Structures are given as structure tokens and as C-alpha cells.
Amino acid sequence: MSANPSPLAAAPGGGTRTLQDRALRLFIVLSAFFCVNAALAEFIGVKIFALEDTLRIAPLQWNLFGQTGSLNFTAGTLLWPIVFLMTDVVNEFFGRRGVRFISWLATLLIAYGFVFAFAAIALAPAGWWVTAAQAQGVPDYQAAFAAIFGQGLWSIGGSLVAFMLGQLIDVSVFHRIRSATGEKHVWLRATGSTAVSQLVDSFVVLYIAFVLGPQHWPIPQFLAIGTVNYGYKMLAAFAMIPLIYLLRRWIHRYLGEARARQLREEAAAD
């Protein structure tokens, strides 16, 4: 008796099974990596870290719009550059519909995650668990859990709106630049689309979460912090340019030149 056929084996009749299609497998991997990084960025973003202290350098005091401060960012900024990279790669090979699909999927998964985070907070904690981490300096585990995972609804809403708006702008600008330059200047369409989309994203999330939200930031503070965040994102986008070319080269080798060219042409016409 023969073993059960692998899901990647040839289909009956000699054709290729769906999961054997390298383009499909590539899209699944890129989508999964995009979604997990976007979700992780949202959840670890509750932590604010000091960049200068992390790098062990002297504080770099910025002065913008009459405001001063040091370089403090959410931990989510470590992952957003990877999200930008995945967006550009999906844009390059799977077009507008590919980016819109993974963007909506990520948004729904993030919202799903927050729903269950709040559900977990609402569960009655076991008495012994509340004090289980006192030796590590956490007197109330339930309060710490709620503080970390129970982000404010203004922050969650602002982040999701800014994320989707930024993604839709990114895909539009990417293809406008592609239409103007053809297949040349990969770095320009990738970085140019990020420059426009993150300009919107950086300010929309802060405006909803901290100006409209309960903290009611004054406009100068909103503009100053938004500008610093945008500056960081652009530096990260430029730093990712070599990775764009490396990943593009790997994809061409994985798919084969003919298949990769076909996908790029379909994406450009999307």
C-alpha cells in the first residue's frame, strides 16, 4: 500500500498542485511575515524606549515647534520598517490587489487580537497568580497584564486608521512612480511611496490618539513628536534599500526569471 501523497506532489493527470506553485507559496510567506510583524508592532508598541540610552550615547535634544525632547520611540518602530519592506515587495510582484488584501487581513487580525486581549483582561485572575511575580518586582500581575495589553481605544483606533490609510496611499504612490519610471529605479518607488504614506501615517495616528483622545496634546507638541517619528521612519526606509534589492534578487532566483517577470508585469498592469 502506498503512502498518502504529499500536498506538494503532482496532481492527478500530471498537473501541478496548487501548493506547489512557487508564486503562491511566496505570497503566503510574505503575507504571513507582513501580518505577524504588523500585529507584533501594535502589541509591543505600548513600550516607549530611549534611543540614546539604548545606544549608550549622549542625549540628542531636539527643538521643534517650540518643543524640546530626547529620542523616545515606541518599541513597535523596530518592526515597522520590516512591514514597509514587505509592502514594497508585495507591491512589486503582486500589485495593488495583493497589498490591499494583506493590509485588510492584517487590520482584521490586529483588531481580532485586541478583542481577545481585552477578553483575557476581563477573566478573573487566579489568586496565586496575581502575586506570582512579586520577586521580580511586579506586585500585581493582573494590573501589569491589563496595563500592557489593555491599550486605550483611542490609541488602537488611531493606529488602525493610520495603518490602513498609509497602506492605501503607499500602493497608489508606488504604482504612480512605477508608471513614470517603468522597471527602473526600484529604490525610488519603494522609498518614495514610503515617504508619502508614512508622512500621513505618522501624524494621523498621533492626532487621533493624543489630540482627539483624552490627553489633548497641544498642536505644537503633536507637530514636534510627529516630525521626529517621521524622521526616524525615513531613516529606516533608506536603510532598508539594500534589503529590497537583496530580497528582489532572491525572489527572482526562487521563481525563475520568466515567472518573476510575468508577476511584475501583471502587478504593473493591476
What SS3 class is residue 64? strand
Cα-Cα end-to-end distance for the chain = 47
pTM for this prediction = 0.86
Query: Scanning the structure block, which residue is given the C-alpha cell 503532482?
Result: 10
In this model, does residue 185 exceed pLDDT 90? no
- Dihedral class, residue 196 (left if φ above 0, else alpha if ψ from -120 to 50, else beta): alpha
Q: What is the percentage of the chain residues whose pLDDT exceeds 90?
A: 70
Q: How confident is the model at residue 11 (pLDDT cuts 50, 70, 90)?
A: low
pLDDT in tens, 39-69: 999 999 889 899 999 989 988 888 999 889 8
Q: Cβ-count burial of 177 within 10 angstroms (0-12 exposed, 13-18 middle, 19+ buried)?
A: middle
User: Nearest-CA neighbor of 194 among 231, 141, 220?
Assistant: 231
**Average pLDDT for 132-149:** 93
